[in-house]
Structure 1
Amino acid sequence: MDSITSILLGFLLGAIIFGFLAYNRAYQIGFSKRSGLDAALKEQAEQEAAVLRERAQTEAERIRAEAERLKSEAERTLRDAETLAKERVAERRQELERDIQRERDTLKLERDEQRRERDELKREIERLNRRAEQLDARGMKLDHLEEKLEAEYRDLQVKHQEADTKLHDVNLKLFEIAQLSPEQARDIILHKLDEELEEDKAVRIRQSTEKANIEATRKAQHIIAQAIQRSASETSAAMAVSVVPIPSEAMKGRIIGREGRNIRAFEALTGVDLIIDDTPEAVILSSFNPIRREVAKSALEQLVADGRIHPTRIEEVVHKAQEDMKTFIHNQGEEGALEAGVVGIKPGLMQLLGRMYFRTSYGQNVLKHSIQVAHVTGILAAELGLDPALARRAGLLHDVGKSIDREIEGTHVDIGISLAKRFGEPFEVIDAIAHHHDPENAETLYGVLVAAADAISAARPGARRESLEVYIKRLEQLESIALSFPGVSNAYAIQAGREVRVIVQPEKITDSKATLLAREIAGRIEQDMEYPGQVQVTVVRESRAVEYAK
C-alpha cells in the first residue's frame, strides 16, 4: 500500500512540475521572440498556462482518486483473502475432525468385530470340546457293543455249524431213502411245478379272455353297428396330375407363346409343371400340391376360354384364381363343419379345415374322413353318456395337422396340437389330437373314442387303398411272424390280411398252450407291424387218427 501511494504522489508531483516548466518555457519563448507583444498576448499565454495548470490539477486529482480506489480495493481484497483463508482453515479443521472421528468409528467397529469373533471362537471351541466328550463316550459305548456283537456272532457261527451238520445228516438219510441225487430231485420238482403252473395259467387266461371277449364283443357290436348305421361318407381319390381340355391343337402353340414366354410365366406364377405332349386336345398339369394344381387348372381354363394368352393376362388370371381358391377353401371348411355338426370354429382354423379337402391319405379324402370320424365319435359319445358336441369337434379336428404337414416340419400330430393350442381349443380336443394313434396314453375318454372312430373310418371296406406290393409284403410278414414260433407247422393270411390262421403240431402244443400262443403271436404283430384296423389270430390244433380197413 505504501508503494502505491508513493507512485501516485510521484505522478502528481511530476504533473505539477511539467505544468510549471511548460509555462516557463512558453514565457521564455514569447519573451525572446517578441518581447514587444502587447498585454493581450501575455494574457493569452497566462490563460493557456492557467488551462494547463487546471488540467494538471485535474489529472492529479484523478490520479489521487484512482489511487484511493485502488487502495480501497487492495484493502478489500486483503480482507477477503484473510476471510477466505480463515474459512478454509475452518473447513480443513472440520474435515480433519470428521476424518479422525471416522477413523475412530472404524477402529471401534473393528474392535467390536474382533471381540465378537473372539466370543464366537470361544463358543465354537466349547462346543467342539463338548462334542469331543460326547464322541468319546459314544466310542466307548460302541466298543462295548462291538465286543458284545462279536461274542454273539461267534455263538451264532457255532450254532450254524451245528445246524449245517444236522442238515447234512438229514439230507444223507433222505437221499438213501429216495435213491436220488440232489440235482435229480430238484429237476423233478421244478418240472412238475412248471407243468402245473403252465396248465393253470393257460386255463385262467383262456377263461378270462373268453369272458372279456364275449362282453366286449357284445357291447362293441351294438355301439359300432349303431354308429355305422347312422353315418355315411363318400371317398374321393386325388391324382398327381390334372388334365385340361383345349378346343384345338393350335391352342397349344398359343399356350407355349413366343420363345416359351407364356408357359414359363404360367409355371413361375403357379408353381405347377405344364406338360404339353402328343395328347390330342388336352394339356396336363403336374404338381404334388393339389391346391396349386387346382389353381393352375382354374386359371388355364379361364385363359383358354378367353383366348387372350400373354404374361400380363396370365398374371391377372392366376391372381384371381388364387383369391377364388381361398374363398373355395373357406367354403369347404364351413360346409365340412356344418355337415359334422360342429360350430364355433375360428376363421383361421376353418381355413385349415378347408385345406383338408385337397389332402388324401391312402386315397381317402382327409376332410371326408374327418367328417365321418366326427359323426362316429359323436354317436359313440352319446352311447356312453359323454358330450356329443365336444366329441364331434374332437373327431373333426383330429387330423387338422395334415392340412399343412407338407409345408412345415413335424408330424401331423405335433402340428395339430400346436394349431389347437394356438386357436384355443379345449383340452379334450387337444388330447384327442395328441393320442388318436395311441389311445392307451390318452388322458380323457374322447381320445379313446376318436381313436376308435378313426380306426372304423380307415378300416371300412373300400375306404383306403394300398399298392399291390405293400399288400403282398404285409401278408407275407403276417405269415412269417406266425411261423417263427416253435410248434407251428403252417400259417395262412386270409380275409385280405385281417386274419391269420395258424396250424400247430398237436404233439407239441396243447390246448392250454394254444391260447398262450395266440396271445404271443398277436403281441408280436402289434409290435412289429403297421396295419389298418385289427388282425385276428386263430390257432388251430387238430388231432387225427387214421386207420384203413382191409
Structure 2
Amino acid sequence: MHIVIPIITAVVGIIVGAVIGFLYRKTVAEKEIGSAEQEATRIINDAIKSGETKKREAILEAKDEIHKSRTEAEREIKERRNETQKLERRLIQREEALDKKSDAVEQKAEELDRRLAKVQKTQEESEEVRAKQIAELERISGFSRDEAKEYLVSTIEREAQHDAAVKLREIMQKAKDEADANARELISIAIQRCAADHVAEATVSVVPLPNDEMKGRIIGREGRNIRTLETLTGVDLIIDDTPEAITLSSFDPVRREVARMTLEKLIADGRIHPARIEEMVEKSRKEIEQIMKAEGERATFEVGIHNLHPELVKLLGRLRYRTSYGQNVLKHSIEVAHVAGILAAELGLDPVPARRAGLLHDIGKAVDHEVEGSHVSIGVDLAKRYKENPAIVHAIAAHHGDVEPESIIACLVQAADAISAARPGARRENLENYIKRLEKLEEIANTTTGVASSYAIQAGREIRIIVKPEQVSDDAMVLLSRDIAKHIEDELDYPGQIKINMIRETRVVEYAK
C-alpha cells in the first residue's frame, strides 16, 4: 500500500508535467507563428511594392521601345515611299522611251518594206535583162548555157594547169639550181678529201700449185686428205682440168680464206696428211681471227672512231673478207664513213656520229649468211645488242630506205652509201639483173599515157622519153616527168639517180605536086 501511493503520486506528477510542458510549447509556438505571419505580411508587402515599381519601369521601357520602333518604321516607310516614287518616275520615263523607239522601229520597218519592194522590183527587172542577155549571148555564140559553162570551165582548167606547170617549172628550176650547186660542191669536197681505191679487191678463190703432182698429194690416198680438209674447213675443193690450180668454193668468205691459207701452208711445208691438215687449219683460223681483229682496229683508227664494243670491232674485221657486187665491204664502209663525216662537217654538224654510223651501216653483212633476215635488220639488232646510240641504230635502219630517215645523220649516211656504191668502177653487177632493170625502166615509161617511145641510156643512169605531141603539151611535160619519176622510185631499186630526159617534137610534112 505504501508502495502504490508513491507510484500514483509519481504518475500524477508526470502527467501534470507533461500537460504543463505541452501548454508552454503551445504558447511559444503561437508566439512564433504570429511573428512569422507578421514577417510574411511584411515580405509580401515589400514584394508587392517592388513588383509595382518594376512594372512601372517595364511599362516605361516598353513605351520607349514602342516609340523608337514606331519612329524607325515611319522612317523606313518614308524611305521606301521615296524609292517607290523614284522607280515609278523611271518606269514612266522608260515607257516614254520605249514608245519613241517603237515608233522609230515602225517607221524603219515601213521604210524597209518600201526598199524591199523596190529591190524585188529591181531584181525582177535584172532577171529579165539577164535572161535577154543570156539569150542574146547564146544566139551570138551558138552555145547553149550548159555548153558555154562547160567551155568556160575547161578553159579555166587549162589555164590553171598551164599556170601551175609554169610556176612549178620555175620553182623546180630555182630549187634545182640552188640544190645542185650546193650538193655538187659538198659531194666534190667529200670525194676529193676521201682517197679510196677505185676498183675494189676481189676475194681470192683459186690457189696456185707449184705443179700438177701436188694435186695428187692434196687428194691423198683414197681422197682422205681432201675429205679431211673439206670437213675441217667447210669448203669444197674443186680439182678440175685447170693446170696447177685448185678452186675453193664456199658461201662463207672467212671459211674460204681459212682454206686458202691452210692450202698455202701445206704446199709450202710439203707434209700433207690428216693430222698436219688439222694442225694447219687450227693455226690458220687463229691467224684469221687475229687478222680480222687487227683489220677492225685499223678501220676504227682510220676513221677516228673509239669506244666501239670489241665484238663490233671483230665483226668489222670480218667485212674484209666480204664483197658486195665485187666491192670490198670493209673498204666500202670506211669510204662511207669518210664521206658522211666530211658532208656533216661541211653542213656545220658534228662529224663523229656521222662517221660512226657510216662505218657501222653494213655491219649486218658480216653475219648475214649465218643469221636469218636482211643485212639491215641484222645490223640494227647487232647495234642494239652492243648498246649503240639510238641515232646510230636509226641511221643503220634507214640507209636503204627500209624506214623513213628522221635525222640528218641518217640522210647523210644514205647519201654517202649511194655515192660510194654508184661511183664508176665501184661495183660489178650481174648482167642479167642489169638487163632486167633497164627493161623495167623502159616498161615503166612506155606504159605511161602520152609516151610514144623510151630508151634507157648511159648504163641506166638516164632514160630518154619521146612523148606524143598531140596528147602532151609543153606544160604537161613537167607534170608527166614527175609522175614517171615517182613510179621509178616506187618500183625500182637502183644506185645513185636516174635522169629523165623528155622530148616533145612536132613535125609538119607537106608535098609539093
Q: Same fold (TM over 0.5)?
A: yes
Matches within 5 A, 1:132-531: 176=135, 179=138, 183-234=146-197, 235-239=199-203, 242-438=205-401, 441-531=404-494
**Which amino acid is the alignment partner of residue 408 of structure 2?**
L
User: 1:535: Cα distance to partner?
Assistant: 0.3
Runs of 5+ consecutive residues of structure 1 not aligned to the other structure: 1-165
Distance 1:440 1:292, change over 3 A: closer
**Which amino acid is the alignment partner of residue 416 of structure 1?**
G
User: 1:350: Cα distance to partner?
Assistant: 0.2
Distance 2:394 2:427 in 1: 26
Distance 2:401 2:210 in 1: 53
CA contact (8 A) 2:186 2:343 kept: yes
Query: What whole-Å deviation, never above 9, does each CA across 1:369-401 have from its counterpart, x for those lacking one?
Result: 111111100110001111111211111111111
Secondary structure in structure 2 of the residue aligned to 1:489: strand
Query: What whole-Å deviation, never above 9, does each CA across 1:503-523 have from its counterpart, x for those lacking one?
Result: 223332221111111111111
Distance 1:341 1:549 in 2: 77
Distance 1:281 1:544 in 2: 66
User: 1:530: Cα distance to partner?
Assistant: 1.2
**Which amino acid is the alignment partner of residue 495 of structure 1?**
Q
Secondary structure in structure 1 of the residue aligned to 2:460: coil
CA contact (8 A) 2:463 2:500 kept: yes
Distance 1:472 1:543 in 2: 32
Question: How many aligned positions are there?
Answer: 382
**Which amino acid is the alignment partner of residue 406 of structure 2?**
E
User: 1:332: Cα distance to partner?
Assistant: 1.0
Report what 1:538 is aligned to: 501
User: 1:353: Cα distance to partner?
Assistant: 0.4
Distance 2:211 2:156 in 1: 87
User: 1:186: Cα distance to partner?
Assistant: 4.5
Distance 1:510 1:317 in 2: 73
User: 1:486: Cα distance to partner?
Assistant: 2.5
Secondary structure in structure 1 of the residue aligned to 2:183: helix
Query: What whole-Å deviation, never above 9, does each CA across 1:170-227 have from its counterpart, x for those lacking one?
Result: 9988875554556534432332232122112211211111111011011101101111
Distance 1:291 1:237 in 2: 15
Secondary structure in structure 2 of the residue aligned to 1:441: coil
Distance 1:440 1:173, change over 3 A: farther
User: 1:490: Cα distance to partner?
Assistant: 2.5
**Which amino acid is the alignment partner of residue 232 of structure 1?**
A
CA RMSD of superposed structures (Å)? 2.4
CA contact (8 A) 1:271 1:292 kept: yes
Query: What whole-Å deviation, never above 9, does each CA across 1:121-168 have from its counterpart, x for those lacking one?
Result: xxxxxxxxxxxxxxxxxxxxxxxxxxxxxxxxxxxxxxxxxxxxx9xx
TM-score w.r.t. the length of structure 2 is 0.70
CA contact (8 A) 1:518 1:537 kept: yes
Secondary structure in structure 2 of the residue aligned to 1:496: helix
Distance 2:337 2:200 in 1: 18
**Which amino acid is the alignment partner of residue 278 of structure 1?**
D
CA contact (8 A) 1:439 1:451 kept: no
Secondary structure in structure 1 of the residue aligned to 2:459: coil
Distance 1:308 1:505 in 2: 75
Distance 1:440 1:342 in 2: 25
Secondary structure in structure 2 of the residue aligned to 1:476: helix
User: 1:363: Cα distance to partner?
Assistant: 1.1
CA contact (8 A) 1:267 1:273 kept: yes
Larger relative contact order (C-alpha < 8 A, sep ≥ 6)? 2
Report what 1:41 is aligned to: none
Distance 1:276 1:546 in 2: 68
Distance 2:315 2:247 in 1: 27
Distance 2:398 2:187 in 1: 20
CA contact (8 A) 1:439 1:447 kept: no
The percent of aligned pairs where both chains have the same amino acid is 56
Query: What whole-Å deviation, never above 9, does each CA across 1:487-509 have from its counterpart, x for those lacking one?
Result: 22222222111111212233322
Distance 2:243 2:154 in 1: 80
TM-score w.r.t. the length of structure 1 is 0.65
CA contact (8 A) 2:445 2:451 kept: yes
**Which amino acid is the alignment partner of residue 507 of structure 1?**
E
**Which amino acid is the alignment partner of residue 403 of structure 1?**
A
Runs of 5+ consecutive residues of structure 2 not aligned to the other structure: 1-123
User: 1:445: Cα distance to partner?
Assistant: 0.7
Distance 1:502 1:252 in 2: 57
